[in-house]
Amino acid sequence: MGLIRIWGFCISVCVLLTGCSLFHEARSLKRAGVYGDFELSGRIAVQVDGEGSSARIKWSHRGDVDAVDVYTPIGSIVAVILVSPRTGAVLETKDQVYEAASVEALTQRVLGWRLPLAGLKYWAQGQANPLVVTDGVASRDAQQRLTYLEQDGWKITFESYVEKSMRPRVIRLEFQDLKIRFVLDEWERLDL
């Protein structure tokens, strides 16, 4: 009977230590700031087929839900984009509501160009999308921050970073004849 208690105790300790180790690893990954929840505001300039436009945005990324408010350069709201697994992608303007299975399909149909939100939630944090294979060479600067990356048909150039930070300040995205310049003005981590 004593031997059974000793083995039971040893197994319990091993399970407990393994569980603590896994919890610590998951917590440290989250704390490292990679792929976490955030809110940001910034400016976006889009050029496609020789035509250009610009807007201000406020973007909230929480888990697998994204909400993007799109404003004119002077601050009037133009549209709200909501993306979640339950609803798909919804774009609402003052007059209409549009729906599609993905934000890329939705923005292509309504705006005439693709917003790569699935990748941008990682690129805006200075990281490659871990769910997509890197198409080309990924280069880094002396601080090991990404400077260039090719993923999912997009060419992503990290033009500048916030001083002494791993957070990008200006990102340029190119996909065929579409060019997007994204300037991140304010950033707040929500999962710290």
Is residue 148 scored above 80 in pLDDT? yes
What's the whole-model pTM score?
A: 0.78
**Domain containing residue 17:** 1-32
In the structure, what pLDDT confidence band is assigned to residue 192 with cuts at 50, 70 and 90? low
What does the pLDDT average to over 60-87? 94
Residues 14 and 107 in one domain: no
Whether residues 22 and 89 share a domain: the answer is: no
The total of structural domains in the chain comes to 2
Q: For residue 119, which of 133, 139, 101 has the smallest C-alpha distance? A: 133
Q: 84 burial class (0-12, 13-18, 19+ CB within 10 angstroms)?
A: middle
Joined together, the tokens standing for residue 18 give: 């393994």
Tell me which of 75 and 179 has the higher pLDDT: 179
Least Cα distance to 189 among 30, 51, 48, 57 occurs for 30
Q: How far apart are CA 91 and CA 32, in angstroms?
A: 32
Kindly state whether residues 18 and 82 are assigned to the same domain: no
49 with 116, same domain: the answer is yes
| DSSP string across the chain | -HHHHHHHHHHHHHHHHHHHHHHHHHHHHHHTTTT--EEEEEEEEEEETTEEEEEEEEEEEETTEEEEEEE-TTS-EEEEEEEETTTEEEEEESS-EEEESSHHHHHHHHHSS---HHHHHHHTTT---TTS-B-S--EE-TTS-EEEEEETTEEEEEEEE-TTSSSEEEEEEEETTEEEEEEEEEEEES--
Residues 76 and 155 reside in one and the same domain: yes
Selected residue with higher pLDDT from 26 and 68: 68
Q: For residue 39, what pLDDT is reported?
A: 95
Do residue 38 and residue 24 come from a single domain? no
pLDDT of residue 123: 95
Question: So what's the pLDDT on residue 137?
Answer: 75
pLDDT value, residue 162 = 93
What is the per-residue pLDDT across 30-65, written as a single tens digit (0 to 9) for each? 333 456 899 999 999 999 988 999 999 999 999 999
d(CA 167, CA 126) in angstroms, rounded, equals: 6
Mean pLDDT over 113-140 rounds to 90
Give the pLDDT band of residue 111 (cuts 50, 70, 90).
confident
Residue 157 confidence class, pLDDT cut points 50, 70, 90: very high
